[in-house]
Amino acid sequence: MKQEFTVTVYTENQIGLLNRIAIMFSRRKINIESLNTSPSEIEGIHRFTIVINELEEVVKKLARQIEKQVEVLKAYYNTNDEIVWQELALYKVPTDEIAEKVKVERLLREYGARAVVIRKDYTVFETTGQREEINKLISVLEPYGLIEFVRSARVAIIKASSGFHSKLKEFEKREPGEEVIENEYLGQGDQVFTM
Amino acid sequence: MSTIEKAPAKGKTEQKPAVKNISGSVAVLEAFLAEGVSTIFGYPGGAIMPIYDALYDYQEKLRHILVRHEQGGIHAAQGYARSSGDVGVVFATSGPGATNLVTGLADAMIDSTPLVCVTGQVFAHLLGTDAFQETDVINITTPVTKWNYQVTDATEIPAVMAKAFYIARSGRPGPVLIDITKNAQLQKFDYEGYTKCDHVRSYRPAPIVRKEYITEAAKLINEAQKPFVIFGQGVILGKAEKEFIKFIEKAGIPTAWTIMGLSAIPSDHPLNVGMLGMHGNYGPNVLTNECDVLIAIGMRFDDRVTGRLDKYAKQAKVIHLDIDPAEVDKNVKTTVPVWGDCKETLPLLTAQIEQKVYPQWLQKFKDMMKEEEDACITPELNPTTEQMTMGEVMKTLNELTGGNAIIVTDVGQHQMVACRYAKFNQSKSNITSGGLGTMGFGLPAAIGAKVGAPERTTVAIIGDGGFQMTLQELGTIMQAEVDVKILILNNQFLGMVRQWQQLFHDKRYSFVDIQSPDFVQLAKAYNIPGKSINQRADLKSAVSEMLNTKGAYLLEVMVGKENNVFPMVPQGCSVAEIRLK
């Protein structure tokens, strides 16, 4: 069954690499739901966070093929249970309407929203959270003439990850890494290896 | 921001060469010399003129072969790489020069051929302005290169070239393209010498060998009753032919090859049971679905090899040896993956397996070969028809070369017949476009193959259709005096498509009826002697004349118009459903 996966890719910071990674998805006709690229915890190493809806089997092959690219250090894929993730959204609404008709304090409290800009003509709220929370606030604000809305790409932290510093040290060594490429039969030797 | 690291300096004892002030163009050529390049296939043009100007002074050290089309240049470089086992090098200019490389890059990418292509590019300040002969070559070639990079500053050139050669030839090889803007070619800089690259932080050429998997693999092999080895080009690319033969001889396992692996073991090896795939041999295909342990070495389970995947070797435990982790489980689920360079993993595996023979199992392959002989092979090699067959031409060629020639093929029926019937005594002798199936590959690739192995007889076997796709390279053969024997098997059809139209489209021959020029006259115009025959009686003497003529020669053999290649695994069928007729 297709489900949401977050693919995290650690790369060198190289011009053209975004294209090289993006075509891995478009070649298989996979739609990228959200894409974020930013520096990582290590200077000079970039981190891509890509959200797609796919079968695990496909994502697994995809991650290996992404990792094969010369300037990619590592590609991980995770289900939503395995990550902590957030998105950020901005909402622009007419100030007079909102001031008159909405209990702003309640809004701020209930949705964890913040007023970023308050002008005579419009107010910009900001909220961070997951998709449903962000969407809920849209539906609340929509009746009051939501002028503009924008949501950022997902950023995600892998729960089980211990960071990339030690991995990078491995990469900088000249011998092949100890990294185990998982195989579904690993650890089930008894069932598989008897004939 | 760029992350091209300067290659680290070697031991301290090495003396630092004196700093010279050179141009980016000279730096490119110095890199070639340091990497052991001796031949460049190329075509000049506006944006690569500074490099060609520098090349003028390097003619003694670097042989440049002027091709007639950039596609010819890159296919020649592929042929060179495949026959020599080294990196092929190509020059092309910007714009159309670069786009003409794309087919060859795609071919080299899918067939893992090491290439370094250098393209000229417009001045850096003109990038993105739709300048004359500007094209976004980096983005166009991204999906068909192992790595590509645009240089806009000459000081980057030594490190970038070192990285290019390292990436092209290490791990699973592949094509690399370096695009150099004209200003960088012209720019002078202080050159501190060339240091070869042996490490790129983000790049793992080969995964670590996992010894416990080798033990598991050996255990499976030792317990097997009907093991079967299938191998591909990985054995040749890994230069592991000897290790491979030691392995199969100790294991005593019947062994079949993909067309990319062909020639890695001698044709007459007692364990060689033949060819896999759509037009492969009967036994290897059928018995794939009967073996209990399938040992795949340096091959990638292409759909032309596996047929219908959900009915492919389902009964078998699969051991897959490959240098590329992305290949494991890609098409066929692997029971035991053995990651790593097979030159390293095969000896480890050989050490752990028992010396064995499987006479009954091997006999099964022989019995099926007998069946295939009666149904397909004998009528092909010793036909009773009036018209000649492609197979009998191959048989005659085998007799006269003794299996010592390099055979380069194009794509189509003749390719399948050549791969099925050509005999080989040594590795790196079969050069064909396997993955991409590029018609027009044959003639230019043969030029490169001959240049890469000048002491060997090189025969290009080409159909009448494919020959007309790149026949301009006859000009290259003429000018560079390349001793290529061109054997055109002319059935006056685009034969493979015609065969499919006959079998699967009710004989509706839609645009496969191709006319040809007088090939012998055409060759004559290029000063290449030739002959055309349509009588069996002339075959042996004509092939012999071709082989014994000094220099290039073109022989056209008229063969049966509507002959088909059999056996055949029809598309969408399992390998066990292979048809003998």
Query: Any idea where the domains of chain A sit in the sequence?
Result: 3-83+156-178, 85-151
Reduce the secondary structure of A49-66 to three states and give it as a string: EEEEEECHHHHHHHHHHH
**Band (A179; pLDDT cuts 50, 70, 90):** low
Range B130-156 average pLDDT: 97
pLDDT > 70 fraction of chain B, expressed in percent and rounded: 97
For a pLDDT cut of 70, what percent of chain A falls above it? 89
Is CATH 3.40.50.1220 the right assignment for the domain spanning B211-365?
A: yes
- Residues of B within 8 A of A195 (CB-CB) are 220, 223-224, 292, 317
The whole-number pLDDT of residue A144 equals: 85
| Strand ranges for B43-146 from DSSP E | 63-66, 88-92, 115-121
* Mean pLDDT of the B173-182 span: 98
Q: Which among B362, B29, B12, B2 has a CA at the least distance from the CA of B152?
A: B2
**Under 8 Å CB-to-CB from B454, ≥6 apart: which residues?**
none
Residue B213 has pLDDT above 70, yes or no: yes
**pLDDT recorded at residue A110:** 85
Distances (CA, A) of B277 to B34, B399, B567: 41, 26, 10
**Distance between CA B327 and CA B237 in Å, rounded?**
16
pLDDT of A107: 77
Lowest mean pLDDT among A115-119, B50-54, B100-104, B447-451: A115-119
Please tell me the predicted confidence (pLDDT) of residue A185: 56
Long-range contact pairs involving A53-56 (C-beta distance under 8 Å, separation at least 24): A53/A2, A53/A3, A53/A4, A53/A5, A54/A2, A54/A3, A54/A5, A54/A30, A55/A1, A55/A2, A56/A3, A56/A5
Instruction: Write the pLDDT tens digit of every residue in B324-344.
Output: 999 999 999 999 999 999 999
Q: Which of B59-68, B202-211, B311-320, B334-343 comes out lowest in average pLDDT? A: B202-211
CA A14 – CA B165 distance, rounded (Å): 19
How close does chain A come to B207, measured CA to CA in Å? 6
| pLDDT digits 0-9 by tens, B285-310 | 999 999 999 999 999 999 999 999 99
- Domain range list for chain B: 20-191, 211-365, 388-558
Ranges of H-type helices in B373-421: 378-381, 390-401, 413-421
Residue identified by tokens 């809004």 is: A107
| CB-CB neighbors (< 8 A) of A15 in chain B | 1-2, 150
Any residues with CB less than 8 A from the CB of B318 and at least 6 apart, and which? B293, B294, B296, B332, B333, B334, B335, B336
In angstroms, what is the C-alpha Rg of chain B? 24
**Strands B227-231 and B20-23, sheet pairing:** unpaired
Nearest CA distance, A128 vs chain B (angstrom): 31
pLDDT bin (cut points 50, 70, 90) of residue A195 is very low
Q: Looking at residues B40-47, what average pLDDT do you find?
A: 98
pLDDT value at B470 more than 50: yes
pLDDT value at position B1?
A: 40
Among B112, B202, B210, the strongest candidate for a mutation testing the A interface, having the largest count of A CBs within 10 A, is B202
Does pLDDT of A143 surpass 90? Answer: no
Closest partner CB to B208 (pick from A20, A71, A176): A176
**What distance in Å separates the CA atoms of residue B484 and residue B486, rounded to the nearest whole number?**
6
pLDDT for A100: 80
Q: Return the structure tokens found at B35.
A: 């990497």
Q: Measure in Å the smallest separation between the Cα of B144 and chain A Cα atoms.
A: 10
Q: B550 exposed, middle or buried (CB, 10 Å; 0-12, 13-18, 19+)?
A: exposed
Residues of B forming the active site: 70, 132-133, 182, 496
Question: CA A39, CA A36: separation in Å to the nearest integer?
Answer: 10
The residue with greater pLDDT, A99 or B159, is B159
Q: What's the whole-number average pLDDT of chain B? A: 96
**Confidence class for position A101, pLDDT limits 50, 70, 90:** confident
- The listed CATH number (3.30.70.260, 3.40.50.300, 1.10.8.60, 3.90.960.10) that belongs to domain A3-83+156-178: 3.30.70.260
Could you write out the DSSP letters of every residue in B213-265?
A: HHHHHHHHHHH-SSEEEEE-THHHHTT-HHHHHHHHHHHT--EEE-TTTTTSS
pLDDT at A193: 44
- Cβ-Cβ contacts under 8 Å for B330 (sequence gap 6 or more): A61, A64, B300, B301
Confidence at residue A172, expressed as pLDDT on a 0 to 100 scale: 80
Please give the model's pTM, rounded to 2 decimal places: 0.94
SS3 label, residue B494: coil
* pLDDT beyond 50 at B121: yes
Per residue in B1-32, pLDDT (tens digit) is: 444 555 544 444 555 667 899 999 999 999 99
pLDDT at A165: 83
Question: DSSP string covering B170-192, please?
Answer: SSS--EEEEEEEHHHHH-EEEE-
**Per CATH, is B20-191 categorized as 3.40.50.970?**
yes
Model confidence band, residue B61 (pLDDT cutoffs 50, 70, 90): very high
The closest CB to that of A27, out of B143, B202, B335, belongs to B143
Q: B449 with B406: CB under 8 angstroms?
A: yes
- Reading the block at residue A52, the tokens are 């797609």
Topology match between the domains A3-83+156-178 and A85-151: yes
Report pLDDT for A112. 87
Q: Which of B459, B482, B433 is nearest to B74 (CA)?
A: B433
Q: Which residues of B touch A (CB under 8 A)?
A: 1-3, 138-139, 142-143, 146-148, 150, 167, 198-204, 206-208, 210, 216, 219-220, 223-224, 292, 317, 324-326, 328-330, 334-337, 339
Q: Write out pLDDT tens, residues B529-541.
A: 999 999 999 999 9
Q: Which CATH class is domain A85-151?
A: alpha beta
User: Would you call A70 and B208 a contact, using CB atoms and an 8 Å cutoff?
Assistant: no
Q: Are β-strands A148-151 and A83-94 bridged in parallel, bridged antiparallel, or unpaired?
A: antiparallel
B273 residue type, one letter: V
Give the residue from B480, B474, B400 showing the smallest Cα distance to B442: B474
Confidence of residue A79 (pLDDT cuts 50, 70, 90): very high
Contact state of B317 with A192 under an 8 Å Cβ cutoff: yes
CA-nearest residue to A176 within chain B is B208
CATH tag for B388-558 (out of 3.10.20.30, 1.10.3470.10, 3.40.50.970, 2.60.40.10): 3.40.50.970
Q: How many CA atoms lie within 13 A of B418 on its CB side?
A: 30
Give the integer Cα–Cα distance in Å for A111 and B510. 66
In whole angstroms, give the CA distance from residue A152 to residue A168: 28
Largest CA distance in chain B: 74
